[in-house]
Structure 1
Amino acid sequence: MQSEHLSTAVTKRPEDENLGLLANIAYGFQHVLTMYGGIIAVPLIVGQAAGLGSAEIGLLIAASLFIGGLATVLQTLGIPFFGCQLPLVQGVSFASVATIVAIVTAGGGLPSVFGAVIAASLIGLLITPIFSKIIRFFPPLVTGAVITTIGLTLMPVAARWAMGGNMKSPDFGSMANIGLAAFTLALVLVFSKLGSAAISRLSILLSMVGGTLLAWMLGMVDFSQVLVGPIFAFPTPFHFGTPEFHLPAIISMFIVVLVILVETSADVLAVGDIIETKVDSRRLGDGLRADMISSVIAPLFGSFTQSAFAQNVGLVAVTGVKSRFVVTFAGIILIILGLMPLMGRVIAAVPTAVLGGAGVVLFGTVAASGIRTLGKVNYQNNMNLIIVATAVGFGMLPIVMPSFYDAFPDWFATIFHSGISSTAIMAIALNLLFNHMKLGNSDQQSVFVAGTEDRSVRPAVIFDLNEGDYFKNGKLFDAEGNEVAVVPLKDRPKPLSDH
């Protein structure tokens, strides 16, 4: 009986719901479409920086899809000590792009990059117990600020997608691209409003299909390259050479790993809050270890550091589909795409503007979820409001002004160039300073929050007032304008009931 009770308790987790094969495939494909542009962006940029041809860049993309799929399956299903069993899609982390390009252009080449990723990720794997213990420093005050920032930092991505994606393209920002994005956004809203729960949950996928069909009718999408190239291809280990280990490259990449650990911690806690499930330090640690072990294996096949994708956290919030098995199927689809370049070319044909239209809702929903979490915070007679304001504002600096940290040391710029990391670090630090370290705190309200406290008075005060009494210049007057004496509490006559 006891084992049966425990089994029932475990299955009550919202993420353990299994929606069935067809629903898992449909919702999983929706996740893949949402993150596809992001997962291929890193190998595309790195391949171009390394001077690779289109065929070689294609191998980098295939490897990234393949490893991202394996990492997603590990994260969602989980094995002992690895995988948080939450609906999180894994893929190549964009936080590593600048460092990878710097290593490549400095003459290290891809072998040096792969060696740095392996070594730095192994160190990250060793320090995950430290990161998993910081969960008590992530109250709603911190997680709400970070989740809000995740959504806000992704909005420039949605804007670039809506404008066409490629800033060097002559039609970047054209009315055709923005109009296509607006049409896709309108479809999302229409499908979301329909009474059918199934259609509403698939609103992102259906709107992308509708947007792509419109683009095809207008001649804005090209499927001619879909059949060009192999149908099947397995990522070849060490295709780009044996990893080389150079200390400067490893140190630079380790800073990136620290950023990834912070961002993944924020994503794990964010999705746990969105689907309303418990995330303790053990579960957070399992998620971080899955990130790091995936990053260790990725370079062997020609990929890079892995992390949770924030845009898919937004998809979970929009659709309300909490099942981790849906994301497991997304991982399986990614593996198939990595083994079948043909399918990858089909998805790659989806216009970037279509992704932009859907991204406005996806990323905005992440920010809205953070605002909802911040609504749980107590702002009365404390510094919580200024903590949130400072943390979110600090995180927005590199977003509104990408060159803000250009004059700073490289290690500092690497950490704080991520708005998510900036907000997380500032929110944690200020929360510790004002809410955990009581020494030096004032018992008076800060001028920044003085007007935010809900007023209240004791019943005894009301009993002493008459109709029409009012305050003026610190004095109490009755309805006829006569001043009423304010007697100190110790001199106030006791009610008859007290005698």
Structure 2
Amino acid sequence: MGVHPVDQTLPPLKMFTSGLQHVAAMYAGVVAPPMIIGPAVGLSTGETTLLMGASLFTAGIATLLQTLGFWRIGARLPFVNGVSFAGVTPMIAIGTGAGPEDALPVVFGATLVAGLLGFVLAPYFCRLVRFFPPLVTGTVITLIGISLLPVAFDWAQGGDRHAADYGAAKYLGLAAITLLLVLVLRRVLRGFLQQIAILLGLVGGTLVAVPFGVTSADAIRQADPLGFPSPFHFGAPQFQVAAIVSMCVVMLVCMTESTADMLALGQIVERPADERTLEGGLRADALGTAVSPLFNGFACSAFAQNIGLVAMTGVRSRYVVATGGGILVLLGLSPVAASVISLVPLPVLGGAGIVLFGSVAASGVRTLASADLEKGENALIVAAALGIGLIPVAAPEFYHAFPADLRVVLDSGISTGCLVAVALNLAFNHLGRRHGEQPETAEPLREWGAA
């Protein structure tokens, strides 16, 4: 039996360019949280830049833990980790309450404890896999793609809702040109060039953006050549109970989303994630989260947009993503190198993101096609989970009157949709079944794990 595509290595040039494509796909998502949190807690531009570098560095470490792994840590799939958006709102609330000088130490202390809690809970949390049959995973994968699309739409309009030119024709035009470039390149190219169509589309879109004055080299000119993220740059971690509780809730949300993402990726690369894979992946998430505060980083979680890249390119090697993790580490150590990737304008990323995130949703629809929607109330389960999961997407302020800690979960359509799908599948297909009836379970996952 040959080597599974997930465990195959590629020639050095293909490995590097494919890994770079993963970095390009996730870069904006990694630096966006520190760009939001920094000013919110009173940091200067230089300090916020330091946070961005730290986020790239810790995302690289977490990605290496996931792809290469050691002992029982790491999913050993082409699984990308980075800063979770789930923690942005709670961290701003924690930082605002703690005051400017103590904001980040309190956030980092709570994140450290949350990561250790996640590491301890991983072996128990992963046992929920039997409640994730294709009916559930297909619903969640579809929600992941649909929930990410508004991010691409926001990027396509410029990324700054408060800017006077937000949604300007030049931004939408650049997004449309990039989208068209990606589609055309996928259609006319063959072999390896077809696989890196996203990267080529990003380069082409950036070149087109230059005459419009959308790109800027200021970040490169102002960046230092080298800059190691010094441990505890903002002070030693502080431990406050309320902050710890809030970040532990965020950790559980991240673990839920990572479980769904690992199941999605397992289906895409044709190596379904069993309980041991999920346990290793969750441990890598948690360990990455616990280590990140030491280097001024935040909670780490799965990056679903890179799942779309795997689905679209067909490159399933985990070593490609590990190469991307290595590039992230180097970017974190070199602000100048990191700033080069920041040349790609958000509208260009938005155009490519429409294809990437749409590919995730399409993968979910394909998974749902393998579920027996004609059986029992399965169609009703999908309808309810999709409907509830789309509430934060269609009506972002729907839960505005709820407590902030509860909104951490409710404002994540992926988490709420996942929980609803699991709960309804449990209610309709597991509880109260008559003798001899077989529940809807994730049989393919257990069969692969036993092989």
Question: Which TM class, normalised by the smaller chain length?
Answer: over 0.9
Three-state SS of the structure 2 residue aligned to 1:225 is helix
Classify 1:351/1:403 alpha carbon distance in 2 versus 1 (closer, same or farther; 3 Å).
same
Determine which of 306, 313, 319 is the counterpart of 1:312. Answer: 306
Stretches of structure 2 lacking an aligned partner (at least 5 in a row): 438-451
Unpaired runs of at least 5, structure 1 = 1-8, 444-499
Identity across aligned pairs (percent)? 48
Any residues of structure 2 matched to 1:385-396 within 5 Å, and which? 385-396=379-390
Q: Secondary structure at the match of 2:130?
A: helix
CA distance in 1, matches of 2:114, 2:271: 31
SS of equivalent to 2:432:
coil
Shift, 1:195, TM fit = 4.2
Alignment pair present for 1:93 and 2:84 = yes
Give 2:128's aligned residue: 134
On the 8 A contact 1:150/1:367 being kept in 2, the answer is: yes
Instruction: Name the residue aligned to 1:249.
Output: 243
**Is 2:64 the counterpart of 1:73?**
yes
Alpha-carbon separation, structure 1, partners of 2:398 and 2:218:
42
Aligned to 2:147: 153
2:346 to 345, 352, 363: 352
After TM superposition, give the deviation of residue 223 of structure 1 in Å.
Answer: 1.5
* Cα pair 1:50 1:104 within 8 Å, conserved: yes
The answer to whether the 8 Å contact 1:398/1:417 transfers is: yes
**Could you tell me which amino acid in structure 2 is paired with residue 150 of structure 1?**
I
| Corresponding residue number in structure 2 for 1:112 | 106
State the aligned residue count: 433
2:416 maps to 422
Alpha-carbon offset, residue 229 of structure 1: 2.7
1:235 — aligned with what? 229
Amino acid at match of 1:65: L
Of the three residues 332, 337, 344, the one matched with 1:338 is: 332
Alignment partner of 1:274 is 2:268: yes
Q: Distance in 2 between matches of 1:166 and 1:50?
A: 19
Q: Which whole-Å deviations, capped at 9, do the CAs of 1:81-136 have from their partners, x for residues lacking one?
A: 11010111111101000110000011251110000001111111111111111111
Q: How does 1:178-197 map to 2 (within 5 A)?
A: 178-197=172-191
Task: Give the Cα separation in 2 of the matches to 1:229 and 1:147.
Answer: 38
Equivalence map 1:210-221=2 (5 Å): 210-221=204-215
Return the alpha-carbon distance in structure 2 between the equivalents of residues 387 and 43 of structure 1: 37
Q: Distance in 2 between matches of 1:71 and 1:410?
A: 28
1:36 aligned onto 2:30? no
- Larger radius of gyration, structure 1 or 2? 1
Q: Is the 8 A contact 2:289 2:300 kept in 1?
A: yes
CA contact (8 A) 2:90 2:405 kept: no
Greater helix share, structure number = 2
Give, in angstroms, the shift of residue 225 of structure 1: 3.3
SS at match of 2:220: coil
CA drift of 1:439 comes to 5.1
Q: Larger deviation: 363-372 or 102-111?
A: 102-111
Deviation of residue 408 (structure 1)?
1.7
User: Residue 227 of structure 1 aligns to a residue in which SS?
Assistant: helix
Q: Distance in 1 between matches of 2:121 and 2:87?
A: 19
TM-score by length of 1: 0.85
* Amino acid of the structure 1 residue aligned with 2:74: G
2:212 maps to amino acid: L
Alignment root-mean-square deviation, CA: 1.4
How far has the Cα of 1:18 moved from its partner? 1.1
Q: Deviations over 1:163-207 (max 9, x none)?
A: 011112222100100000000000000110014121211110000
In the alignment, is residue 62 of structure 1 matched against residue 56 of structure 2?
no
* Contact 1:91–1:306, Cα closer than 8 Å, also in 2: yes
Confirm or deny that 1:82 pairs with 2:73.
Answer: yes
User: By how many angstroms is 1:218 displaced?
Assistant: 2.8
1:256-292 deviation digits (Å, cap 9, x = unpaired): 0000000000111110011111311011000000000
Question: What's 1:362 paired with?
Answer: 356
Shift in Å at residue 411 of structure 1? 3.0
- Asked if the contact 2:223/2:339 (under 8 Å) is kept, the reply is no
Contact 2:105 2:235 in 1 (8 A): yes
Aligned-pair CA distance for 1:227 = 2.1
State the secondary structure of the residue aligned to 1:226. Answer: helix
Tell me the residue number matched to 2:404: 410
Shift of 1:222: 1.4
Return the alpha-carbon distance in structure 2 between the equivalents of residues 411 and 438 of structure 1.
33
* AA of the residue aligned to 1:437: L
Distance between the aligned counterparts of 1:225 and 1:133, measured in 2? 46
| 3-state SS in 1 of match to 2:215 | coil
* Matches of 2:393 and 2:157, distance apart in 1: 18
Whether 2:317 is the aligned partner of 1:326: answer: no
Equivalent-residue separation in structure 1 for 2:105 and 2:149 (angstroms): 34
Instruction: Please state how far the C-alpha of 1:438 moved relative to its aligned partner.
Output: 3.1
1:320 Cα shift? 0.8
Instruction: Judge which range, 15-24 or 334-343, deviates more.
Output: 15-24
Give CA-to-partner distance per residue, 1:127-165, whole Å, 9 cap, x none. 111111111111000000000000000010000000011
Residue 52 (structure 1) aligned with residue 48 (structure 2): no
Q: Retained in 1: the 8 A contact 2:144–2:414?
A: yes
In 2, Cα distance between the equivalents of 1:179 and 1:86?
36
Counterpart CA distance in 2 for 1:42 and 1:144 is 28
Q: For the Cα contact (< 8 Å) 1:155–1:360, is it kept in 2?
A: yes
Could you tell me whether the CA contact under 8 Å between 1:14 and 1:277 is conserved in 2? no
Contact 1:388–1:427 at 8 Å: present in 2 too?
Answer: yes
Q: Does 1:26 align with 2:17?
A: yes
**Separation (CA, whole Å) in 2 of partners of 1:152 and 1:407:** 25
